[in-house]
Amino acid sequence: MVATFDVKERLRQRFAADVLHADRAGGMESITVKKDRIVEILGFLRSEPDLAFDFLSDLGGADGMRLDWPQWRDRFQVVYHLRSMKHGRRLRIKASVPESDCRMPSVTGLWKSANWMEREVFDLFGVHFDGHPNLKRILCHHKFVGHALRKDYDIHQGQWLDETESMMDEIGEYGENPDDGGFSELVPVNIGPAHPATHGTLRLFAKLDGETVVRVSPEIGYLHRGFEKHSESGSWTMVIPYTDRLNYCSAMLNNVAWCHGVEKMLGIEVPERTQYIRVIVSELSRIIDHAVCVAAMLVDLGALTNFWYLFNLRERIYSILEELCGARLTSTYVRIGGLAYDLNEGFIDQVRAILRDIPKNVGDVIALIKKNRIFLDRTVGVGAVSKELALSYSWTGPCLRASGVAFDLRKSDPYLGYENFDFEIPTYEDGDVYSRAMIRFDEIVQSMRIIEQALDRLPSGPIFSEDKRVHLPDKDKVYGSIEGLMNHFVLVYDGIKVPKGEGYHPIEAANGELGFYTISDGSGRPYRVRCRPPCFTIYSGYSEIAAGSMIADAVPILSSFNIIAGELDR
């Protein structure tokens, strides 16, 4: 069955007139189609059993204004990254959208997660989606003029805002009775963005019936820092510090995701020692991220003691990472092709010491909450998410696994040699707040197992790839030979030159699938960087999941998602 698999041919048979171009770049089939029948095409790919591309991994846009590729016919492309959960394959579909007719059908009917992603494409590129239920800006503010990610929008052109959006269009008239002169017994309540329960940058606008949330609508974009635009203005290496600040609770994982994706585009294999070190720091970051998530969630439930316990753990890991790379939060440790530094002396002993102490730290917290009546009453059965709903919202990571889908990129699409480690994917069935909290503890245990194995087998050797395109030559070669000097000069002046093409190589970050869809025009600067943030899709399901719950439950539901604003808004 697998041998006959050819998406391209299947699509050509069915939609001959609509397929414009097909190629295979960076290990993924990539098909450009006309925009008008996109819903039929994606529906076909989704429903055919031998294709079964049922998971919308990512949806983004790209502006080809300064790109002279022959296959790039129109100015814009809307890019869909699909994944088949059944067959484990990935596919990229690109819809070509001309500037003169900047609209196309919406696929919100197929995947619920398309709702926010299409809004983002509309916001940043100005592509209109017909049939979208609520097409308005999402990251930039409501009075913003122009579309920020178009190539002709100046990066420095800021636009002041003098009042926040009322959001009455989404929530205002809901529940009003026209016969009664628009009277409603529902109470509108604005929560955030400066509210402790929304962790600083999220805004919710809810309508309450007593204490029940009847309808709630999140507003995001309060931390939109222009990551993607910035990435397009510097060299490939200069993106690394910006990735630190996406999910700032686990900066190492973002570094790894970015460098891994670029290395795949360059076709570079990093040395084995680098892979192992990356695995160790990734898993340490994952532990911190999960600890912070659960700690913040328990604070929201009023359990402050656990916060101190878990933050002790976090502080200790931070001091290890600080000794390794010089920074506590924003590490910038991983480089394209290698690492900034080798492990410091004593790193291994420090990590082993903390691995001995984590069970005590985490065990204390679990002992405090596991049989705690208040914790159980407030989490068990609250905000339950079914498997189907989670997949429709393109959930990944612990939240999806809490709903019973054992999908983990470390197992399903192994990278960095994760296939050589012995670990399990914990899953829960209920998909409620309790599962989402407990699964993080289970994953901490699994991460510890991985770190232990990696420390045991840590090979010696170089930490940087020998490839001349990424590796600065040693100083004696720079001063002693003309080749070394030229190599150094070119790398410093032009930066790393990634070959023309596009790539999407996601990894499993603490919140789920984190990938960067990158387009390179060969100039030494990324032409387009699109970040696929895991919590963006997770949060897009919030209004459906929280509707009907108590207002007090809406808060733990939100914190169990582990929304990190830097990653959400980029």
241 Cβ contact partners less than 8 Å away, ≥ 6 residues apart: 330, 332
Only segment of 1-9, 73-81, 153-161, 505-513 that touches another protein (CB under 8 A): 153-161
Indicate whether 307 belongs to the interface with another protein (CB under 8 A): yes
Indicate whether 566 belongs to the interface with another protein (CB under 8 A): yes
Residue from 26, 61, 64, 193 touching another protein (CB under 8 A): that is: 193
Distance CA 336, CA 262 (A): 7
Residue 409 CB, nearest approach to another protein (Å):
25
Only segment of 8-16, 94-102, 198-206, 355-363 that touches another protein (CB under 8 A): 198-206
Only segment of 28-36, 78-86, 152-160, 338-346 that touches another protein (CB under 8 A): 152-160
Distance CA 538, CA 517 (A): 19
* SS3 category, 416: coil
Of 211 and 269, which has the nearer Cβ to another protein? 211
DSSP codes, 90-119: EEEEEEEE-STT-EEE--TTT-TTHHHHHH
Residue 71 CB, nearest approach to another protein (Å):
30
What's the chain's length in residues? 570
CB 231 within 8 A of CB 246: no
Of 199 and 477, which has the nearer Cβ to another protein? 199
Within residues 238-277, the interface with another protein by CB under 8 A covers 241-242, 244-245, 248-249
Of 201 and 520, which has the nearer Cβ to another protein? 201
Indicate whether 312 belongs to the interface with another protein (CB under 8 A): yes
Distance CA 521, CA 498 (A): 8
Residue 150 CB, nearest approach to another protein (Å):
11
Residue 199 CB, nearest approach to another protein (Å):
8
Is omega for the bond preceding 193 within 30 degrees of 0, making it cis? yes
Indicate whether 159 belongs to the interface with another protein (CB under 8 A): yes
Q: Per the structure block, which two tokens stand in for 555?
A: 């808060």
Indicate whether 225 belongs to the interface with another protein (CB under 8 A): yes
Distance CA 446, CA 129 (A): 42
Cβ contacts of 341-344, under 8 Å, gap ≥ 24: 341/463, 342/277, 342/463, 343/277
CA distance readout (Å), 531 to 25, 115, 273, 522: 19, 17, 27, 20
Residue from 8, 10, 14, 141 touching another protein (CB under 8 A): that is: 141
Residue 542 CB, nearest approach to another protein (Å):
19
Only segment of 224-232, 401-409, 469-477, 491-499 that touches another protein (CB under 8 A): 224-232
DSSP codes, 159-214: ----S----HHHHTTTT-BGGGTSB-SPEEEEE-SS-GGGTTT-EEEEEEETTEEE
Q: How many residues form the binding site for another protein (CB under 8 A)? A: 54
Amino acid sitting at position 291: A
Within residues 322-341, the interface with another protein by CB under 8 A covers 328-330
Q: Per the structure block, which two tokens stand in for 372?
A: 């705690």
Residue 491 CB, nearest approach to another protein (Å):
22
Question: What 8-state DSSP symbol labels residue 471?
Answer: P
Report the candidate in 394, 428, 423 with the shortest Cα–Cα distance to residue 513.
394
Indicate whether 180 belongs to the interface with another protein (CB under 8 A): no
Q: How many C-beta neighbours within 10 Å does residue 483 have?
A: 12
Residue 181 CB, nearest approach to another protein (Å):
12
Residue 193 CB, nearest approach to another protein (Å):
6
The residues that touch another protein, with contacts defined as CB under 8 A, are 140-141, 148, 153-164, 166, 168, 172, 188, 190, 193-196, 199-201, 221-226, 229-230, 241-242, 244-245, 248-249, 292, 307-308, 311-312, 314-315, 318, 328-330, 565-566
